[in-house]
Chains A and B, each alone.
Chain A
Amino acid sequence: MDQLALDVAHLLAGGLVLASFMLLYQDRMTGLINTFALHALVVSFSVAWQAYIQQAPHLYITAAIALIVKALVIPLALHRIIVRLDIHRTIEPVVGIGQTMLAGIGLVALSVMVMLPITAQAGTLAREDLAFALSVILLGLLMMISRRNAVSQVIGFMSIENGLILAATGAKGMPLVVEISVAFSILIALIVIGIFLFRIRERFETVDIHVLHEHRGEQP
């Protein structure tokens, strides 16, 4: 039973890595937002499962916050922003999607190579969970740098935060107050970025950051 419980936790962590790859794969805005909702859903299941096996009831609240805020509210808000700002729906990657995913695999290999020797004292599954959390963070960063679109960068930023939650809950103990502050900071960041997008859209009719570059006053 214990082994099964650990296996399920491990499976959910792997599922989060899979969801991060699915985020890298998307080439349309609505698909991206829905996949992010799935990403947040997996994180909330993972945190809930950790609450169950660690017998830490406060983590259920963290899971509920992740579920409601990240899997429901934020995706709905982003859908509405897209419709209101009439942002164009295709996401152009800087290099092809195949190469981005290859880079993603390299990042997963890198995080495994870094994490496993460092945490030699802990149990195998815990180490691999940490390696998965690090790879989710790195994949979120990859998403931010490999897309030309501001909305996808926001989503990449939020998936980094999901990876941090996974790492923190996996390591047995994170107080609720930290989680509330983190969640609020995310909300505020989202509002700010939303206002930003609105302003950019007003000025330039587009949120493609490539276009913004020409107005910076230096060579692109």
Chain B
Amino acid sequence: MAVALDLTVQLGQMLIVLALAPLLTGYVRKVKARLLRRQGPPLLQPYRDLLRLVRKEVVLAQNASWLFRVAPYLIFATTWVAAALVPTFATGLIFSQAADMIAIVALLGSARFMLALAGLDVGTSFGGIGSSREMMIASLAEPAMLMVVFTLSLLAGSTQLSSIAASMQGPGIGLRVSLALALVGLIMVAIAENARIPVDNPATHLELTMVHEAMILEYSGRHLALIEAASFLKLLLYVSVIACVFVPWGTAVSGQGLDAYVAGLGIYAAKLAAAGCMLAVFETVIAKMRVFRVSDFLGAALMLGFLATLLLFVSRVT
């Protein structure tokens, strides 16, 4: 009975994550538009976009292979699994043991692998641009993310995300310099991985400025809907990771009962709203970088993560 309840809560988290992801993106777009003194699309527009895409016919290029058709499903599946493993309103759920942070980073890496291959599949130069730039960004963003993971794991004594979140809630860790450096590094990586300004423009129509958009240029219909859903989920994942690790107050602990979960859910929604607002403001005040400046940007994130880890290695001496 208790197992069935726990399973339901875990399943509920998976579905909540899927349901909230388009709303977060819609909220960010709305706030950005308001900051530019426009009305902006309605909050629920991403849902409508997905529905519309799903109902459309898929137009495949002549030489698109089976990989092109299968990739959206795999990208969606890996991103959804990764997002569902991140604690949102409660830590310590039944499958939280499987939520190893290195595994989550690697799952996102699988999604990116498939996406980059799909970009190369049709054999146009735009797909090539997107894939090659994406792999350059990934070659720096993924190590930076891993260094942040190392920092958090060394502080919490575990690589399980749920344990890290739980130990951040407790009094043991306190304010550490490595945490501050890790936070800055994680924010920089999150911006790069989610194809946000200043690294990539998610709303661009200019080929020269595309990274993510260039890889999915040939996709249409239900395939494009799956890939868009995956990118919504990825944004939600990164915001959830930052929220549950660096702003852990209010997250329920598994076993505290239904009202704690509901309260946790409300606080989680508030965290998402705050993060969305800050992201929108940040994207509005800053301009997009040149592509080869992105490597400096992510190199800086890698250095910050490395410095954070180094300080932890060194400061354990007494």
Contacts and interface: CB of A to CB of B under 8 A. Distances in A.
B314 interface: yes
14 contacts: A8-B175, A10-B175, A13-B177, A14-B181, A18-B184, A21-B303, A27-B293, A97-B299, A98-B296, A98-B299, A104-B303, A105-B303, A124-B315, A128-B315
Interface stretch (B85-93, B223-231, B271-279, B304-312): B304-312
Nearest first, the 5 closest Cβ-Cβ pairs linking A and B are A14-B177, A7-B175, A98-B299, A97-B296, A101-B303
Contacts of A68: none
B318 interface: yes
Contact of A18 (B175, B181, B295, B317): B181
Interface in B169-187: 174-177, 180-181, 184
Interface of B: 174-177, 180-181, 184, 293, 295-296, 299-300, 303-304, 306-307, 310-311, 314-315, 317-318
B174 A21 contact: no
A108 B300 contact: no
Given A14-B180, A109-B310, A21 B296 contact: no
Nearest to B299: A98
Given A25-B296, A102-B303, A11 B175 contact: yes
A147 to B, nearest CB: 15
A139 to B, nearest CB: 11
B58 to A, nearest CB: 42
Interface in A85-110: 96-98, 101-102, 104-105, 108-109
Contact of B177 (A3, A11, A21): A11
Nearest to B308: A14
Given A96-B296, A97-B296, 8 more contacts: A10-B176, A11-B176, A11-B177, A14-B181, A18-B304, A27-B293, A116-B314, A128-B311
A112 B180 contact: no
Interface in A8-22: 8, 10-11, 13-15, 17-18, 21
A177 interface: no
Contacts of A3: 174
Contacts of A128: 177, 311, 315
A101 B299 contact: yes
A128 B307 CA distance: 13
Contacts of B300: 21, 25, 101
Contact of A108 (B180, B293, B307): B307
Contacts of A25: 296, 300
Contacts of B311: 112, 128
A98 B143 CA distance: 15
A39 to B, nearest CB: 15
Contact of A21 (B175, B176, B304, B318): B304
